Structure 1
Amino acid sequence: MNTSPVTLAQVAAAAGVSPSTVSRILNGSARVDDAKRQAVETAIAQLDYQPNAMAQGLARGRTMTIGVLTQDISSPFYNEILQGVEDGLVGTGFAPIFASGHWNADEEIQRLTMLARRPVDGLIVLTGAIPDDVLTGFAERVPMVTMGHRVVRDNAVYLQLDNEHAAYQATCHLLDLGHVAIAHIAGPPHMGDSTARLAGYQRALAERNIEFNPALVVQGDFRDDSGVVAVAQLLESRQHFTALFAANDQMAIGARLGFYRRGIRIPEDVSLIGFDDLPAASFCTPPLTTVRQPVYEIGFQSASALMRLLRGEKCDPIALPLTVVVRESTQRRRY
């Protein structure tokens, strides 16, 4: 049995046209009569010819690659998004190239510059510390989809995620359970997601006439180990609190370990809530109350939006919902 791939020359011979005519029809640059076009399409179907996507892209002046700037490719949060990006590109002929910025603006700019010089046909930027005006400069050269940045250009689109309101809702959940002294583990201070979540926490306290206590806010870096360290800092400060809101699930899971090592029970002694709803959140002991982000959908929608931009279609900002998911790590305050 012959399993060799069908060639363009074989399609041309079956259709009774030249190979260059087949190539131009596939690339959309040929002006031929309907009979020839039909003959080529029939030959492609009968022979099950699979065009070389890369070759077609190069013929159109494209590399068929998409640059994706993440913060940490090993992070479970970004890992889920990147899976969505890959699935969103299935069947398009485009392949992603991933790069990590490690929450450092200078490193992110270096990675974006590297991707743009390859060059890639489009960029997806997932949060990060790069100023919006710098990203706008990149968007002037290449189509771009951003998360956590508001880049307004004809060839750019951004995903709208209301982190401030979601953090407000998370804090209100704890307040509704009777908690007044609520600690917060914040994310990196130079990132918009972190500052928005801190602002939502502060707004919820202010609306209930609870004075904001800066000593109950500890700095983290979105990694698990910073949650462990933050809990140690809070306990050593001897500040009283009955609930803790961590700015992401990884820090919440780290905090859970920190409490366990001190003999503090969740939720009997301290109620705990995170942000993201990573797969691991459902399997914590106890399962973690958190804010659900449509993490996979973020990646899938980013890839789909970029494909629309590359087709020259107008693409409006994409709003994605964030909701509180209540599990067993929070309970009513014991008086």
Structure 2
Amino acid sequence: MKTSVRSRRDEKASSPTVLEVAKVAGVSVSTVSRILNGTARVSEAKRQAVEDAIAALDFEPNALAQSLKRGRSMTVGVLTQDVSSSYFTETLKGVEHALTDTGYAPLIASGHWNAEEEAHRVRLLIARRVDGIIILSGNLTSAQITQYSGQVPVVATGHRIEAPKAWAIELDNERGGVMATRHLLDLGHRRIAHIRGPEEHADAEQRFAGYRRALEEAGVQYDERLVVPGDFYETSGVLGVAELLARGAPFTAIFAANDQMAYGVRLALSRQGIRVPDDISLIGFDDLPGSLYTTPPLTTVRQPLFDMGRIAAGNLLRIIDGDPPEPFAPEVELVVRETTRRLR
């Protein structure tokens, strides 16, 4: 017991206090506190002295006490859909990068593409008194998100929102669908199959609309036999190929609505002895980190996932501080690798 008490005393003695910082810096305790709270108007020399003292003493302010003084929790809620998905992992990296050294910590919740569950998670985050919420895709409506912004600032991806404390990032998924399909058309393909994303997802429907638009502009007749449903996961890529082959309608290329389904397509074709791109050309959408390392590397449509997360978090902090968000219009980009080739 004596050893335990002594250890606690030693630990307490080794932890520098605000008083020690003030002594080393040669300023008052109140000045140190106000600098830590971000409310002090002091000379640059005093501020530098305090920062030098903090570094020399390895002082770490009490985050809870600081947040209470500021009237903030210093937490940001992040509603994602599936933390196991590379799509959301890459976007979360951007969020994390933007929050580095800001004093804010992310509180992550998953909605699993279920509107009721997403709404429940948002209410839980608000109840936890987060200072703002980032909503990454999902099935919540723009009207719902606007309503939540009346309680806490919100930034969302995949929406179009106009509200005082809400801001959204909208990607032109239809343009991306046109780019993917047009790339295959330019290579001479006319029998182009498409594995769709879930019909309830706006981005999936927009990519499908882009597919149809590109065919129409090229004068290629739409064939519903070449379109099969998917759910954005690898398994549906495998099942999609099986369905296409079972239908018997010939095709020379496949546009999968995201990279994860394209991975499943590649596997299913390989199991059937169908070579990519010699026999079938394949293109995805997203440009996930792993797409560069598939065999062969995947041709895809890139969307700036990391930047979308970074800008979303940065603009949320601006709204929290009462500043207007910075404009950001993410653009899709065709990335040609080795899974597409000219039709012989």
Q: TM-score, normalised by structure 2?
A: 0.89
Q: Is the 8 A contact 2:195 2:237 kept in 1?
A: yes
For residue 185 of structure 2, the aligned residue among 164, 175, 195 is: 175
User: Which residue is equivalent to 2:301?
Assistant: 291
Q: Does 1:234 align with 2:241?
A: no
For residue 218 of structure 1, the aligned residue among 218, 221, 228 is: 228
User: Which residue is equivalent to 1:192?
Assistant: 202
2:266 and 2:231 map into 1 onto residues whose CA distance is 16
1:16 Cα shift? Answer: 6.8
User: Which residue is equivalent to 1:310?
Assistant: 320
Alpha carbons of structure 1 residues 15 and 174: separation in structure 2 relative to 1, 3 Å = closer
User: Which residue is equivalent to 1:45?
Assistant: 52
For 1:271-315, what per-residue CA distance to the aligned partner results, in whole angstroms no more than 9, with x for missing partners?
Answer: 100001112111111111000111222212211111211221111
User: Which residue is equivalent to 1:56?
Assistant: 66
| CA RMSD in angstroms, aligned pairs only | 2.3
Q: Secondary structure at the match of 2:14?
A: coil
1:115 Cα shift? Answer: 1.1
User: Which residue is equivalent to 1:253?
Assistant: 263
Alpha carbons of structure 1 residues 264 and 60: separation in structure 2 relative to 1, 3 Å = same
1:211 and 1:23 map into 2 onto residues whose CA distance is 70
What letter matches 2:265 in structure 1? A
For residue 144 of structure 1, the aligned residue among 147, 151, 154 is: 154
Q: TM-score, normalised by structure 1?
A: 0.92
Q: Does 1:278 align with 2:288?
A: yes
Structure 1 gap segments, 5+ residues each: none
134-143 or 302-311: which moved more? Answer: 302-311
Q: Secondary structure at the match of 1:6?
A: coil
1:170 Cα shift? Answer: 0.7
1:77 and 1:164 map into 2 onto residues whose CA distance is 18
Q: Is the 8 A contact 1:157 1:317 kept in 2?
A: no
Q: Secondary structure at the match of 2:168?
A: strand
1:253 Cα shift? Answer: 0.5
Q: Is the 8 A contact 1:143 1:306 kept in 2?
A: yes
Q: Is the 8 A contact 1:157 1:316 kept in 2?
A: no
Aligned residues between the structures: 331
Q: Is the 8 A contact 2:180 2:301 kept in 1?
A: yes
User: Which residue is equivalent to 1:301?
Assistant: 311
What letter matches 1:266 in structure 2? V
Alpha carbons of structure 1 residues 233 and 140: separation in structure 2 relative to 1, 3 Å = same
What letter matches 2:213 in structure 1? R
What letter matches 2:250 in structure 1? H
Q: Is the 8 A contact 1:289 1:328 kept in 2?
A: yes
233-242 or 7-16: which moved more? Answer: 7-16
Q: Does 1:208 align with 2:208?
A: no
Q: Is the 8 A contact 1:158 1:318 kept in 2?
A: no
For 1:174-209, what per-residue CA distance to the aligned partner results, in whole angstroms no more than 9, with x for missing partners?
Answer: 000111111111111111110110111111011112
301-310 or 226-235: which moved more? Answer: 301-310
Q: Is the 8 A contact 2:228 2:244 kept in 1?
A: yes
- Runs of 4 or more consecutive aligned structure 1 residues displaced over 6 Å after TM superposition: none
For 1:12-42, what per-residue CA distance to the aligned partner results, in whole angstroms no more than 9, with x for missing partners?
Answer: 4456776455424532456x8x58x965763
1:19 and 1:92 map into 2 onto residues whose CA distance is 23
1:43 and 1:329 map into 2 onto residues whose CA distance is 58
Report percent identity of matched pairs: 50
Alpha carbons of structure 1 residues 29 and 84: separation in structure 2 relative to 1, 3 Å = closer
Q: Is the 8 A contact 2:25 2:53 kept in 1?
A: no
1:39 and 1:318 map into 2 onto residues whose CA distance is 37
What letter matches 2:138 in structure 1? G
For residue 124 of structure 2, the aligned residue among 78, 91, 114 is: 114
User: Which residue is equivalent to 1:244?
Assistant: 254
Q: Is the 8 A contact 1:125 1:145 kept in 2?
A: yes
Q: Secondary structure at the match of 1:319?
A: coil
Q: Is the 8 A contact 2:154 2:165 kept in 1?
A: yes
For 1:105-125, what per-residue CA distance to the aligned partner results, in whole angstroms no more than 9, with x for missing partners?
Answer: 111111111111112111111
For 1:140-193, what per-residue CA distance to the aligned partner results, in whole angstroms no more than 9, with x for missing partners?
Answer: 211111110112112222123111101101100000011111111111111111
For 1:45-73, what per-residue CA distance to the aligned partner results, in whole angstroms no more than 9, with x for missing partners?
Answer: 23534433442222111111111111100
User: Which residue is equivalent to 1:164?
Assistant: 174
Q: Is the 8 A contact 1:11 1:44 kept in 2?
A: no
1:264 and 1:317 map into 2 onto residues whose CA distance is 45
Q: Is the 8 A contact 2:32 2:50 kept in 1?
A: no
